Copies of this chain bind each other. A is one copy, B any other.
Amino acid sequence: MIRQRPAARDDKKPSRTILLDAAARLMSERGTTDISLGDIAKQAQLNSALVKYYFGSKNGLLLACAQDVLGRSLEQMEGLVHMDLSPVEKLKLHIRGIINVYFRYPFINRLIHLLLRDPETARIVATTISQPLAETQRKLLEQGVESGLFKPVDPMHFYFILIGACDHLFFGQHTLRHAFDIDRIDDELRHSYTDTLLDLVLRGILNTSIAKEIP
């Protein structure tokens, strides 16, 4: 049973945050989401019963950890919708933003995959993370179409294509190593991959008369 405790009491907030930070740090350092309650409690120097109190279970804590990391990024992305920028720039920033999150939090890819494997956490990830992200994307696409810059595209298809493309580079790190002989995703790869993806997506959805102006 996952406990979605919406607002921790202020005087308790530090412990909750300490637990989330400890879990994130452990997953980053170990390169795996396979961490135990005991490890988290030890890293946080707190009693593991607090995990049950705040999050209901370890899965609840991992879910909260994903929501914590991605929530801020989701808000920033939502903010893009209201900015005074061209739809092309907004979509570029949106895509760069997604890749940067994967890059900045190396555990987030495996964590999301873990959460999407379990029907209960998958449902919560879908409604609290995927749905808002897809909604932001839908608005960005709509603005592009309204401005005459983008041709219409099914936002749901676009969601799976784009998130899949962003996700797979990070998910496929064994493939990267063994099929392409690349040991890690460094800054250069992140930038060149983003450029290829941006070019492909923009050429793909820009109206043809505009697309041909891209060098």
Contact = CB atoms under 8 A, between A and B. Distances in A.
Interface string A201-213: 1011100110110
Contacts of A164: 164-169, 171-172
A80 interface: no
B165 A161 contact: yes
Given A193-B157, A212-B208, A127 B179 contact: yes
Interface residues of A, number: 51
Contacts of A200: 153, 161, 200-201, 204-205
Contacts of A130: 172, 175, 178-179
Nearest to A207: B212
Contacts of A161: 165, 168, 196-197, 200
Contacts of A156: 180, 182
A171 to B, nearest CB: 7
Given A116-B171, A204-B203, A122 B178 contact: yes
